[in-house]
Structures are given as C-alpha cells and as structure tokens.
Structure 1
Amino acid sequence: MAQRILQAVLHSQSASLFAGARVPYILGVQRHFSTTGGDPDSHSDFQPISKAPSDVVSARQLVEKDVKENPVMLYIKGVPDAPRCGFSALALRVFQQYDVPFSSRNILEDAELKEGIKAFSNWPTFPQIFIKGEFVGGSDIILNMHQSGELKEKLKDLEPSE
C-alpha cells in the first residue's frame, strides 16, 4: 500500500489510487494520519505545546535584566559576526567604531523575546539599542548620533572593551 501511495504522490494520481479500496479502510488511514494534538492516540512528544501567557512577562524580565546589566545592549537580527539584516549590520558597524563593550541578543531565535522587547520599549522595529539602561532607538538614530558626536559623548565614560 505504501508503494502505491508513493507512486500516486510522485505521479499525481491520487484520484485513481483508492479506486478499488474499501471506504472503511480509507477512513482508517485518514484517521491515522490526521490525529490532532488532543487526540489520545497522539504521543505526547508530538502533541502541540501551548506556551503560557506569562512568557511575555518573563521575556520582559529578561530584557530588564539585560538592559540593567549591560552598558550597551543591542537587540538585533542575527549575531554580531553574522547579522541577518542591513539595519542590524549598520548598528553593529557603528558600535564597532568605539572601543566599548556591548552585548547583543538575536531576536530571530525567540519570538516571545522579540514581543517582550517591543512591549518594553514601545518600539516596533529592530534593531533596538539601549545605552546605560535607556532606550536610544534603532540604527538610523545611532547613525545620526554617531555623525553628530552625540554617541561618542554618551559612551565616553564606559570602560574600553578587552
């Protein structure tokens, strides 16, 4: 039977596949392959896991901790060595001009974290940059601050990176 199904799928012959099959058998096959997460026949490893609504709260707590513990915190798409967005790459290039330590988190790895950051800063786009616990903005704002000298002034009392 598996051989017939494979051939039918590969050759788009699904209508003729079950032409001579018994209806109860077809319904059994359909039931077997279409179990839902609440189905007792579905193994617990494969049932959908619903996340608790408190995940956004815990993400918010993580953001608060990040911003408090890191003088410069960047929430970016990708990682510093491999940004996945031009705006994130621009923000990283600007901060690499200064000899200050910065930390970052990849928002593409965690949807709850991404939503928690948006809620924390009340800002919808990324990257999001925090300096000394204060939300500064995105790459365009950082670039303008860099060009005007305001960023250098804001970062001057931070310890150089090692």
Structure 2
Amino acid sequence: MLFKGFRSMEYSRTTASASGSFLQHGMRFSTSVPNDPDTHDDFKPTNKLENSEITLKDIVEQDVKDNHVMIYMKGDPEQPRCGFSSLAVRVLSEYRVPIHSRNILEDPELKNAVKAFSMWPTFPQIFINGEFIGGSDIILNMHQNGELKEKLNKTSSD
C-alpha cells in the first residue's frame, strides 16, 4: 500500500475467512492518544505529508491520472462500508476491469480534498480515464443504457 487508504482490486475478489484478524473484518484500533503529556515527541503520531511538498490535491490528481478506473469510497472494494459504495463496486466489477480505490473514511482531509477536486459533495466518486463520472446512481444509469461499457472499452484499448 503506497498511501493510507489506497487499494487496488484486480479481476477476482477475495473474501475474508471467518477466522480472520480484526483488520480483515474492517475493525481498526489505534494506540495513539492525542495530546498525551506523558508521550515524548519522538513517539507521537505524525502526518507524513506535513514535512513534504506533496499535497493531498497532488495525490488525488496523480490517482486520477495514473488509474483508468479510480473510486473514492467508504471502505474498500473487498469491504464497502455503505450501500452506495457497494453498488458502485458491484456495477464496475461486472466489466472485469482493475478498480483502484481509496477509503475516504481513513482520512477526513483526503475526503475534503477529493470533494474540492471534483466539486462534488457525495461519495462514492468515480473517475474513468481521468474524467470525473459521478456516483453510484450515475454509474448504474450508464450501465443500464450501455454508456459505461463504451467508456470502459475505451479504457481497454489504450
């Protein structure tokens, strides 16, 4: 995983076994205690982008540019965390194209950066060939009228 929340899903989907770890089931725990006076500065959590010239806008632009199908969603393709994100993944999966994603629930700043980039308030947000398409309702409509197949076939021929 290159950046926090980034996932890539190829043609087949994997499922977590019932005996899997908490992480496999989407439960994440943090041991950091913000503003803890007993924690030395060397051991406090840091934001890797803070001391970098890379901005969240740069990351979003790079995601959209580098990935033919990019979805910003709640959860990840293997475990969507809302019905709309789940619907979008199910529709896109019908076309057996690689789906790249970022989980916006893991980073509220990323969520705001994506909203500012697309000028769209809701999630999921789907980009195909660098173009903002919309959310699950738009993807479903495009799937039903054949437009999505045309758009994704354009992806395959690149």
Deviations 1:20-74 (A, max 9, x none): xxxxxxxxxxxxxxxx95x7x874368797999999x711110000000001100
1:17 — aligned with what?
none
Work out which of the two has the higher radius of gyration on C-alpha atoms and give 1 or 2. 1
Does the 8 A contact of 2:49 with 2:55 survive in 1? no
Distance 1:52 1:95, change over 3 A: closer
1:67 — aligned with what?
64
Moved segments of 4+, more than 3 Å: 41-55
Q: What is the aligned residue count? A: 122
Query: Which TM-score applies when normalising by structure 2?
Result: 0.67
Q: Which runs of 5+ in 1 are unaligned?
A: 1-35
Question: Given the alignment, which residue of 118, 133, 136 partners 1:136?
Answer: 133
Query: Which TM-score applies when normalising by structure 1?
Result: 0.65
2:150 — aligned with what?
153
1:15 — aligned with what?
none
Considering only aligned residues, what root-mean-square deviation do their CA atoms show, in Å?
2.8
2:109 — aligned with what?
112
Does the 8 A contact of 1:76 with 1:106 survive in 2? yes
Does the 8 A contact of 1:101 with 1:159 survive in 2? no
Deviations 1:68-104 (A, max 9, x none): 0001100010011110000000000000100222211
2:55 — aligned with what?
58
Question: Given the alignment, which residue of 119, 122, 129 partners 1:125?
Answer: 122
Higher helix share: 1
